[in-house]
Structure 1
Amino acid sequence: MSDKGHKTGAGEKAGTAETPLPDPTAFAANMMKVSARSQRLISDFLSRQGTEDQGPQIPDPMNLAQAFTSLMTAVAAHPQKVADAQMSLWANYLDLWQTAASRMAGNEAAPKVAPERGDKRFKDAGWNEAVFDFIKQSYLVTARWIMETVHDIDTELEPKDRQKLEFYTKQFVDALSPSNFVMTNPEVLRATVESNGENLVRGLENLLEDLERGKGKIAIRQTDLDAFEVGRNLALTPGKVIYQNDLMQLLQYTPTTETVYRQPLLIIPPWINKFYILDLQPKNSFIKWAVAQGYTVFVVSWVNPDERQADKTFEDYMKEGIFAALDAIEKATGERQVSAIGYCIGGTLLTATLSLMAARGDDRIANATFFASQSDFKEAGELTVFIDEPQIDHLEEQMKSRGGYLEGSKMANAFNMLRSNDLIWSFVVNNYLLGKDPFPFDLLYWNSDSTNMPYRMHAFYLRECYLKNNLAEGRMVLGGEKLDVGKIKIPIYMQSSKEDHIAPVKSVYRGAKLYGGPVRFMVAGSGHIAGVINHPDANKYQHWLSEVRKLPPTFEQWFEKATEYPGSWWLDWDKWLSRKSGPKVPARKPGDGKLAPIEDAPGSYVKMKGG
Structure 2
Amino acid sequence: MVNFQKNAERAQILDRMAGAGIAQATGGIAPTALINAWTDWALHFALSPGKQADLVDKAWRDASRLALGMQPETATGTDRRFAAPSWDDAPFRLMRDSFLASEDWWRVATTQTRGVAPQNEAMLSFMVRQMLDAVAPSNFVPFNPEVLARTRETGGSNFVEGALHAIEDATRAVQAKADVAPEAGDFRVGETMATTPGKVVARNRLMELIQYTPTTEKVHPEPVMIVPAWIMKYYILDLTPQESLVRHLVDQGFSVFMLSWRNPDADDRDCGMADYLDLGPRAALDAITAITGAERVHAAGYCLGGTLMAIAAAAMARDGDERLASLSLFAAQTDFTEAGELSLFITEGQVALLEDMMWRQGYLDSSQMAGAFTMLRSNDLFWTRMVRDYLLGERVSPNALMAWNADATRMPYAMHAQYLRWLFLENRLAHGRYEVDGRPVALNDLRIPVIGVGTETDHVAPWSSVYKFQRLTETQTTFILTNGGHNAGIVSRPDHPRRHYRIHTTEHDAPFVDAQSWMEQVPVRQGSWWPAWAEWLAARSAEPVTPPATGAPENGYPPLCDAPGTYVLQR
Fold match (TM-score > 0.5): yes
Matches for 1:325-364 after TM superposition, within 5 Å: 325-364=284-323
2:115 is the counterpart of 1:156 = yes
Which of 536, 539, 559 is 1:579 aligned to?
A: 539
Matches for 1:16-165 after TM superposition, within 5 Å: 55-57=20-22, 61-62=30-31, 63-99=33-69, 113-116=75-78, 119-153=79-113, 155-165=114-124
Counterparts of 1:97 and 1:257 in 2: how far apart (Å)?
70
How much identity, in percent, do the aligned residues show? 39
Counterparts of 2:227 and 2:175 in 1: how far apart (Å)?
35
Counterparts of 2:548 and 2:77 in 1: how far apart (Å)?
55
Which of 581, 600, 604 is 2:562 aligned to?
A: 600
2:175 is the counterpart of 1:207 = no
Counterparts of 1:498 and 1:312 in 2: how far apart (Å)?
33
Matches for 1:7-22 after TM superposition, within 5 Å: none
Please name the residue that 2:426 is paired with: 468
- Gaps spanning 5+ residues in structure 1: where? 1-52, 101-108
> Given the superposition, is the C-alpha separation of residues 559 and 125 from structure 1 closer, same or farther in structure 2, using an over 3 Å criterion?
closer
Please name the residue that 1:529 is paired with: 487
Please name the residue that 1:441 is paired with: 399
Q: Deviations for 1:300-350, whole angstroms, at most 9, x for unmatched residues?
A: 111111112111110100100111111221233222421110111111101
Counterparts of 1:597 and 1:195 in 2: how far apart (Å)?
58
SS at 1:64 equivalent: helix
Q: CA deviation at 1:231?
A: 2.1
Q: Which amino acid aligns with 1:552?
A: F
Counterparts of 2:182 and 2:75 in 1: how far apart (Å)?
36
> Given the superposition, is the C-alpha separation of residues 375 and 326 from structure 1 closer, same or farther in structure 2, using an over 3 Å criterion?
same
> Given the superposition, is the C-alpha separation of residues 205 and 535 from structure 1 closer, same or farther in structure 2, using an over 3 Å criterion?
closer
Matches for 1:336-485 after TM superposition, within 5 Å: 336-402=295-361, 404-485=362-443
Q: Which amino acid aligns with 1:181?
A: F
Q: Deviations for 1:363-413, whole angstroms, at most 9, x for unmatched residues?
A: 2222111111111111111110110111111001101111x1000111122
SS at 2:219 equivalent: strand
Q: Deviations for 1:284-313, whole angstroms, at most 9, x for unmatched residues?
A: 221110111000111111111111211111
TM-score, scaled relative to structure 2: 0.89
Q: Which amino acid aligns with 2:439?
A: E
Counterparts of 1:250 and 1:216 in 2: how far apart (Å)?
32
SS at 2:298 equivalent: strand
Q: Deviations for 1:485-505, whole angstroms, at most 9, x for unmatched residues?
A: 111211111222333332222
Q: Deviations for 1:35-80, whole angstroms, at most 9, x for unmatched residues?
A: xxxxxxxxxxxxxxxxxx9942268725100101112112211234
Q: Indicate if the aligned counterparts of 1:513 and 1:551 stay in contact, CA closer than 8 A.
A: no
SS at 1:57 equivalent: helix
Q: Which amino acid aligns with 1:130?
A: A
SS at 1:300 equivalent: strand
2:241 is the counterpart of 1:289 = no
SS at 1:156 equivalent: coil
TM-score, scaled relative to structure 1: 0.83
Q: CA deviation at 1:539?
A: 4.5
Counterparts of 1:197 and 1:526 in 2: how far apart (Å)?
36
SS at 1:260 equivalent: coil
Please name the residue that 1:3 is paired with: none
- Of 333-342 and 382-391, the range deviating more from structure 2: 333-342
> Given the superposition, is the C-alpha separation of residues 112 and 318 from structure 1 closer, same or farther in structure 2, using an over 3 Å criterion?
closer
Please name the residue that 1:179 is paired with: 138
Q: Superposition RMSD on alpha carbons, in Å? A: 2.6
Q: Which amino acid aligns with 1:586?
A: T
Q: Which consecutive aligned stretches of 4+ in structure 1 deviate over 6 angstroms post-superposition?
A: 109-112, 222-225
SS at 1:544 equivalent: strand
Q: CA deviation at 1:592?
A: 6.7
Q: CA deviation at 1:568?
A: 2.3
SS at 1:339 equivalent: strand
Q: Which amino acid aligns with 1:56?
A: G
Matches for 1:258-337 after TM superposition, within 5 Å: 258-337=217-296
Please name the residue that 2:206 is paired with: 247
Q: Which amino acid aligns with 2:570?
A: M
2:453 is the counterpart of 1:495 = yes
Counterparts of 1:470 and 1:111 in 2: how far apart (Å)?
44
Q: Which amino acid aligns with 1:206?
A: H
Q: CA deviation at 1:281?
A: 2.0
- Of 546-555 and 518-527, the range deviating more from structure 2: 546-555
Please name the residue that 1:569 is paired with: 529
SS at 1:199 equivalent: helix
Q: CA deviation at 1:362?
A: 1.6
Q: Which amino acid aligns with 1:555?
A: A
Q: Indicate if the aligned counterparts of 1:225 and 1:445 stay in contact, CA closer than 8 A.
A: no
Q: Indicate if the aligned counterparts of 2:74 and 2:104 stay in contact, CA closer than 8 A.
A: no
Q: Indicate if the aligned counterparts of 1:223 and 1:444 stay in contact, CA closer than 8 A.
A: no
> Given the superposition, is the C-alpha separation of residues 431 and 589 from structure 1 closer, same or farther in structure 2, using an over 3 Å criterion?
farther
SS at 1:341 equivalent: strand
Q: Which amino acid aligns with 2:169?
A: D
Please name the residue that 1:14 is paired with: none
> Given the superposition, is the C-alpha separation of residues 225 and 191 from structure 1 closer, same or farther in structure 2, using an over 3 Å criterion?
farther
Counterparts of 2:473 and 2:203 in 1: how far apart (Å)?
31
> Given the superposition, is the C-alpha separation of residues 143 and 216 from structure 1 closer, same or farther in structure 2, using an over 3 Å criterion?
farther
For these two proteins, the number of residue pairs brought into alignment is 544
